[in-house]
Amino acid sequence: MVPLYRNRIHAGEVLLVHINERGLKESLSFVFGVPRGGVEVAFPISKDLGKMIFPLIVHKIPSSRNEEFAIGAISATGEFFLNEYSYSETDDYIQHVKQDILNNLIERQEYFGVAFNFEDVRDKEVLVVDDGIATGETVFLSVKTLLKFTPKVIYVAVPVSSEDGFEKLSTLSTVICPLVDQNFYAVSAYFREFRQLTYEETKNYIDESKKFEKRK
């Protein structure tokens, strides 16, 4: 398979074309990036829209048998979602791992240095950006977290998605995705360069995006 995107910045530029084709430039009030990769994809979008990137911090809840396998997800606000694979886990394990991850997410939020009042999204159009959707659980939780504060519309922009992930996210939001692949394998397969960002690099993108902010 030939990679569709050179890197995450290129993916953001492609998404920006789709966002502008929908006429969203003037209506969007906030741009959220899911750290770490989603923040990098959001960077060219935030620059063009004149909006800073707010990190929407979520993390998968791993299986006790395989830490790469998600049984759910949890956000820095304490919201969590468990899928059907969590049924085989003990309550003690789930409570313990949730608390450990939540503590780390709160530390990460403090490191990024961005305090966001989610009440501000009420009746607003907002954009959530990630670098791709496999199962969709982390982005799903991100959207559910925002929905608690009744925004007018939530758009989710991703460069690539599995069919299942796309359908799952579409039940909660309007998904902007140039490629929904029924033969989806892994997000990284669609990028020529897909290295893991450091937290420092992610913070630098967020800090730089503050210069784009035009709201008073």
| 136 and 102 part of one domain | no
Express each pLDDT in 144-153 by its tens digit.
889 989 999 9
| 26 and 14 part of one domain | yes
Express each pLDDT in 114-131 by its tens digit.
878 889 999 999 999 999
State whether the Cα torsion 191-194-199-201 is positive or negative.
negative
The answer to the question of residue 14 being in a domain is yes
Tokens 């403090």 correspond to what residue? 110
Q: How many domains in the chain?
A: 2
| 49 and 146 part of one domain | yes
| 184 and 142 part of one domain | yes
Tell me how far apart the alpha carbons of residues 102 and 79 are, in angstroms, rounded to a whole number: 10
Output the domain CATH number for residue 137. 3.40.50.2020
Which is higher by pLDDT, 93 or 145? 93
How confident is the prediction for the chain on average, in pLDDT? 91
| 69 and 46 part of one domain | no
| 23 and 124 part of one domain | yes
| 25 and 128 part of one domain | yes
- What predicted TM-score, i.e. pTM, was given to this entire model? 0.88
How does residue 84 score in pLDDT terms, banded at 50, 70 and 90? Answer: confident
Domain enclosing residue 40, as ranges:
8-56+114-212
Express each pLDDT in 34-69 by its tens digit.
999 999 999 999 999 999 999 998 888 988 988 767
The answer to the question of residue 1 being in a domain is no
Contact call for residues 155 and 16 (beta carbons, < 8 A): no
Express each pLDDT in 162-198 by its tens digit.
999 999 999 999 999 999 999 998 999 999 999 999 9
